[in-house]
Amino acid sequence: MNAKSKFRLAMVSLLAVFAIAPSAAVAQAWPSKPIHFIVPFAAGGVADVVARTIASPLGEALGQPVIIENRGGAGGTIGTAVGARSAPDGYTFVIPAASHATTPGLYTHLPFDPVKDFAAVTQVVTVPYILVVNPSLPVKNVKEFIALAKSKPNQLVYGSAGNGSSNHLAGALFGMMSGIDVVHSPYKGSGPALTDLMGGHIQFMFDTINTSVGHIKAGNIRALGIGTLKPSRVMPDLPTISDSGVPGFEAATWIGVLAPAGTPHEIVARMHDEIVKVLQIPEVQQRLSSQGAEPVGSTPEQFDAFIRNEIVKWGKVIKQAGVPPVQ
């Protein structure tokens, strides 16, 4: 190799070092101040509890406190929009729930793009929906329920947290996949719907396992099947709806972590790795289990693909069910 070639090789190597250096410096310097988790829902909900459960041990691992900011309203879109507009410097993250994938099909003017405006970090947990019925209904399992519904078209009523809510869409998907015709009754929240279910004013609903399990044990409602593709550790004996007559049925809420688009890859990767470690802490797993939440810890690539698939899936359900758009 002549002197000229050696000089060119040295210059190429030097430029490569400079190209890598800024990225490495960012990763080493981060975090140098508190990190903010925007929870786009009110305090006390599943997303809030999950965020607070991982925040403390995550802060210890990162050497900086993780501060929870509740910015609820408009189905999570207000707080999510704030996160989308935040600086992509690794100090602001959004804690989305399943509604992140349904809002594109529900809102005519969404103030953010749920995919392009964010960098996926990880899906933290999944919280299964379960099909629950009033105990007076003469059914013991999913197949018997479907048979009853088919014998009484448009006579069985199911409740939800409101039009376009995740448990409304779970019920709509179940109806489509099982071939039954039922009536949807929207409430202002899942709590009032669950109360009316126990009172016999409606016949069934899809509810998160954490809010239903106590009532199930007390005999106030009856569980027929779970919406995930595998049983829950909270109710391991409850069969999946998919294995009980509706193959492929899957409906659950979920909680994840997103960063504003443009956040350095090294920061996203570090945050992902630390969250996965936190999810392996026994105390964290116990707290999540009390909420009916199953730890996930998917890779950024897996979470991004999951969100994209969820948007397509629920967009079709929204359209087929004729759910009115939010102006």
Predicted confidence at residue 1, as pLDDT, reads 53
**Residues 115 and 157 reside in one and the same domain:** no
Predicted confidence at residue 290, as pLDDT, reads 87
**Residues 66 and 141 reside in one and the same domain:** no
Q: Which of residues 244, 272, 292 is at a domain's end? A: 244
**Residues 136 and 181 reside in one and the same domain:** yes
Q: Does residue 8 fall inside a structural domain?
A: no
Give the pLDDT confidence of 241-250 residue by residue, as tens digits: 999 999 999 9
Tally of helices (H runs) and strands (E runs) in the chain: 11, 10
Predicted confidence at residue 27, as pLDDT, reads 54
Q: Which of residues 244, 273, 298 is at a domain's end? A: 244
Percent of the chain with pLDDT over 70: 91
Q: Does residue 311 fall inside a structural domain?
A: yes
**Residues 240 and 136 reside in one and the same domain:** yes
Give the pLDDT confidence of 51-98 residue by residue, as tens digits: 999 999 999 999 999 999 999 998 899 999 999 999 999 999 999 999
Write the CATH number for 261.
3.40.190.150
Q: Does residue 137 fall inside a structural domain?
A: yes
CA distance 53 to 282: 12
Statement: residue 24 has pLDDT above 50: no
Give the pLDDT confidence of 152-175 residue by residue, as tens digits: 999 999 999 999 999 999 999 999
**Residues 123 and 269 reside in one and the same domain:** yes
**Residues 78 and 117 reside in one and the same domain:** yes
Q: Does residue 6 fall inside a structural domain?
A: no
Q: Does residue 16 fall inside a structural domain?
A: no
**Residues 88 and 65 reside in one and the same domain:** yes
Predicted confidence at residue 8, as pLDDT, reads 53
**Residues 188 and 233 reside in one and the same domain:** yes
Q: Does residue 60 fall inside a structural domain?
A: yes
Helix (H, G, I), strand (E, B) or coil at 276: helix
Note the pTM of the prediction, 2 decimals.
0.89
Give the pLDDT confidence of 279-319 residue by residue, as tens digits: 999 999 999 998 899 999 999 999 999 999 999 999 999 99
Of 93, 114, 129, nearest to 308 by C-alpha is: 114
Predicted confidence at residue 325, as pLDDT, reads 86
Predicted confidence at residue 62, as pLDDT, reads 98
Q: Which two tokens stand for residue 59?
A: 């802060």
Query: What value does the mean pLDDT take over residues 194-199?
Result: 97
**Residues 92 and 179 reside in one and the same domain:** no
Query: What value does the mean pLDDT take over residues 242-260?
Result: 97
Q: Does residue 12 fall inside a structural domain?
A: no
Q: Which of residues 194, 215, 244 is at a domain's end? A: 244
Query: What value does the mean pLDDT take over residues 32-53?
Result: 95
CA distance 143 to 147: 6
Question: Beta-carbon neighbour count of residue 290 at 10 Å?
Answer: 13
Give the pLDDT confidence of 204-247 residue by residue, as tens digits: 999 999 899 999 999 999 999 999 999 998 899 999 999 999 99
**Residues 231 and 165 reside in one and the same domain:** yes
Question: What sign does the dihedral 230-39-165-222 (CA atoms) show?
Answer: positive
Domain residues for 195?
A: 128-244
Q: Does residue 70 fall inside a structural domain?
A: yes
Give the pLDDT confidence of 99-150 residue by residue, as tens digits: 999 999 999 899 999 999 999 999 999 999 999 999 999 999 999 999 999 9
Write the CATH number for 169.
3.40.190.10
**Residues 33 and 179 reside in one and the same domain:** no
If one counts the domains in the chain, the total is 2
